[in-house]
Structure 1
């Protein structure tokens, strides 16, 4: 039977290569399985197999809250905290100006680590928008650290713990000039 050149030079070597790799992989897996088989013929007593496992207690966790909403609880406190944080970010934002061709609208996001004492410990950029927008948000968080703004820390079983949270700010596109209007008057 006459085979084409494509079969002889492509399909046949490819299928043989896959077969050889499959055999080599199977041998390696068998060696790993035999090396990790530490039980062998060892009998495990029933008493050792039935060790009671301690069931963990339910952990109640609250996320960190931006200051200014201490008197509220639950969802109202979360909404108030987000509103206060948005107000702070927007009041301190120094929107970087860009050229009219820059498409720099979007959300800049930073991960902020808040210590058990409620102070901002560090941050890292999670999502960058470009043209100085993310560095502007980092500057705002640095100011938060310098001013010593104390968040209400996250809690586990009522005890304050260190945690991280995401802080986002939506930047609008900055246009350097106004739109030109067509002169609709006819002479």
Structure 2
């Protein structure tokens, strides 16, 4: 069985994915794959540099991710261009890892952590989608605290994603992460036992 795991920024997706992994799930991390596809020497990195400029290369040949982020933030056209360069490789790698895990470990739950799952319309890849949820006001406070942002900056980041309430409405399974870690663990236990996972 596989599930797509998503949520909003600062909702605690990493916390939930690590709880699932501790119980024996296998993790495919889209963010990690996104870093791998632009490692030095990869064709995707070459395409990104060609499109966005050689000044995005660090002395060691790696991508200056922060600078790239600043360059595309707030520029819809640039963000779309970057996604067109990255997404085919990211999706192909995700799919290959999911298939390899399913073949090698047929009894295990495969969790695929995809931050922009709904925005990228990737629901079709998964048997079910789990959304890690916190109300928007908590999301903003956690984001401000985590990234040391002013409220206005946090609001701007949230505005670039689908609203968390919309994701919650689309989910097959919702984990409410607005309470204590113990409460989140209890919800993961319920999910685990309901599905008869070992």
What TM-score comes out, normalization by structure 2 length? 0.23
Structure with greater helix share of residues:
2
Larger radius of gyration: 1
Flag the structure with more relative contact order, 1 or 2, with Cα contacts below 8 A and sequence separation at least 6.
Answer: 2
Query: If the length of structure 1 is used for normalisation, what is the TM-score?
Result: 0.24
Q: Which has the higher strand share?
A: 1
